[in-house]
Amino acid sequence: MSAIPPRLQQILDGLEGEHCEFKEWKTKDDFDGLTKYACALANEGGGKIVLGVADQRPRKIVGTQVWPQIEVTRKSLNQRIHLTTQWEEFGTPDGRVLVITVPRHAYGLPAGWDGRAWMRENDSLVPLSEALRKAIWEEIGRDFSAEPCSGLALGDLNPVSLDAFRRAWVNSLRARREESGQRDAERIDGLSHEQLLRDTELIQADGTLVNAALILFGSRQAVRKHLAQAELVYEFRNTPASGPADLRIEFQEGFFAWQDLLWQQVNEPSRNPRQSFQAGLFVRQLPSFAERPVREAILNAVCHRDYLLGNSIFIRHSLTALTVESPGGLLPQVTVETLLDRQAPRNRRLAEVFQRCGMVERSGQGMNLIFEDAITSAKQLPTPTASPYQFTLTLHGVVQDAAFLAYLERVGQEKMRLYDTAHLLVLDSVRRDAAVPEALKSLVDRLVTDGLLERISRGRGTRLILSRTFSQAIGESATYTRRKGLDQDECKLLLLKHLHRKGEQGSPLAELAQVLPSKSKRQIQHFLRLLAKEGKASALRLGPRAAWKSTSSASSTPADE
Per residue in 364-398, pLDDT (tens digit) is 568 888 999 999 898 999 999 998 889 999 999 99
Q: Is the pTM of this model over 0.75?
A: no
pLDDT tens digits, residue range 44-77?
A: 989 999 999 987 777 889 999 999 988 889 989 9
Residue among 73, 33, 26 nearest 53 (CA): 26
Kindly indicate the confidence band of residue 561, based on its pLDDT and cuts at 50, 70 and 90. very low
Q: Residue 79 pLDDT > 90, yes or no?
A: no
Q: Residue 197 pLDDT > 90, yes or no?
A: yes
Rg (CA), the chain: 32
Rounded distance between C-alpha atoms, residue 527 and residue 122, angstroms: 85
Identity at 444, one-letter amino acid code: V
pLDDT of residue 486: 46
Residue 227 · residue 215 · CB < 8 Å: yes
Give the strands of the sheet with 124-127, arranged side by side.
112-113, 116-121, 124-127
Domain 232-342+361-396 belongs in CATH node 3.30.565.60: yes
pLDDT of residue 50: 92
- Please tell me which residue, 304 or 459, carries the higher pLDDT value: 304
Burial class (CB in 10 A: 0-12, 13-18, 19+), 402: middle
Domain extent listing, the chain: 6-141, 232-342+361-396, 402-472, 476-556
Q: Which residues of 405-431 are buried (b: 16+ CB within 10 A; e: fewer)?
A: bbbbbbbeeeebeebebbbbbbbbbbb
pLDDT of residue 496: 86
Q: Residue 485 pLDDT > 90, yes or no?
A: no
Kindly indicate the confidence band of residue 488, based on its pLDDT and cuts at 50, 70 and 90. very low
pLDDT of residue 465: 81
pLDDT of residue 459: 47
pLDDT of residue 250: 96
pLDDT of residue 559: 44
Rounded distance between C-alpha atoms, residue 182 and residue 38, angstroms: 54
pLDDT tens digits, residue range 395-408?
A: 999 988 877 887 77
Give the HSE-up count for residue 155: Cα atoms under 13 Å, Cβ half-sphere.
1
Kindly indicate the confidence band of residue 193, based on its pLDDT and cuts at 50, 70 and 90. very high
DSSP assigned state of 229: T
Domains 402-472 and 476-556 share a fold: yes
Q: Residue 159 pLDDT > 50, yes or no?
A: yes
- Please tell me which residue, 360 or 150, carries the higher pLDDT value: 150
SS3 assignment, position 11: helix
Kindly indicate the confidence band of residue 17, based on its pLDDT and cuts at 50, 70 and 90. low
Rounded distance between C-alpha atoms, residue 428 and residue 404, angstroms: 9
SS3 assignment, position 233: strand
What are the CB-based long-range contacts (under 8 Å, 24+) for 401-405? 401/431, 402/277, 402/278, 402/378, 403/470, 403/473, 403/474, 403/476, 403/479, 404/378, 404/431, 404/466, 404/470, 405/277, 405/279, 405/284, 405/286, 405/377, 405/378
- Please tell me which residue, 346 or 148, carries the higher pLDDT value: 148
DSSP assigned state of 542: -
Indicate if the alpha-carbon torsion angle 253, 259, 264, 266 is positive or negative. positive
Q: Residue 31 pLDDT > 60, yes or no?
A: yes
Q: Residue 160 pLDDT > 80, yes or no?
A: yes
Rounded distance between C-alpha atoms, residue 276 and residue 283, angstroms: 6
Kindly indicate the confidence band of residue 248, based on its pLDDT and cuts at 50, 70 and 90. very high
pLDDT tens digits, residue range 417-450?
A: 788 888 889 988 888 878 888 888 888 988 888 8
Indicate if the alpha-carbon torsion angle 469, 474, 475, 476 is positive or negative. negative
pLDDT of residue 557: 46
CATH topology of domain 402-472: Arc Repressor Mutant, subunit A (1.10.10)
CATH architecture of 476-556: Orthogonal Bundle (1.10)
Span 6-141: which CATH code? 3.30.950.30
pLDDT of residue 556: 45
Kindly indicate the confidence band of residue 257, based on its pLDDT and cuts at 50, 70 and 90. very high
pLDDT of residue 476: 54
pLDDT of residue 405: 81
Identity at 68, one-letter amino acid code: P
Q: What is the mean pLDDT of the chain?
A: 84
Rounded distance between C-alpha atoms, residue 335 and residue 384, angstroms: 10
pLDDT of residue 282: 59
pLDDT of residue 266: 97
Residue 397 · residue 320 · CB < 8 Å: yes
Kindly indicate the confidence band of residue 361, based on its pLDDT and cuts at 50, 70 and 90. low
Q: In the chain, pLDDT over 70 holds for what percent of residues? A: 88
DSSP for 358-371, written as a single string: TSS-TT--HHHHHH
pLDDT tens digits, residue range 34-52?
A: 999 999 999 998 999 999 9
SS3 assignment, position 527: helix
Among the residues of 281-401, which ranges form H helices?
291-304, 348-356, 366-376
Average pLDDT of 168-189?
A: 84
Rounded distance between C-alpha atoms, residue 293 and residue 446, angstroms: 27
pLDDT tens digits, residue range 490-522?
A: 678 888 888 888 888 888 888 888 777 657 778
Paired with 126 in beta bridges are 119
Q: Residue 204 pLDDT > 80, yes or no?
A: yes
pLDDT of residue 201: 92
Average pLDDT of 171-190?
A: 84
DSSP assigned state of 22: E
Rounded distance between C-alpha atoms, residue 59 and residue 9, angstroms: 10
Rounded distance between C-alpha atoms, residue 516 and residue 536, angstroms: 18
pLDDT of residue 413: 72
Residue among 149, 303, 306 nearest 214 (CA): 149
SS (H, E, C) 88-115: EEEEECCEEEEEEEECCCCCCCCCEECC
SS3 assignment, position 347: coil
Rounded distance between C-alpha atoms, residue 227 and residue 308, angstroms: 9
DSSP for 97-160, written as a single string: EEEEEEPPPPTT---EETTEEEEEETTEEEEPPHHHHHHHHGGGG--GGGSB-TT--GGGB-HH
Q: Residue 217 pLDDT > 80, yes or no?
A: yes
- Please tell me which residue, 368 or 458, carries the higher pLDDT value: 368
pLDDT of residue 37: 93
Q: In the chain, pLDDT over 90 holds for what percent of residues? A: 35
pLDDT of residue 365: 65
pLDDT of residue 323: 96
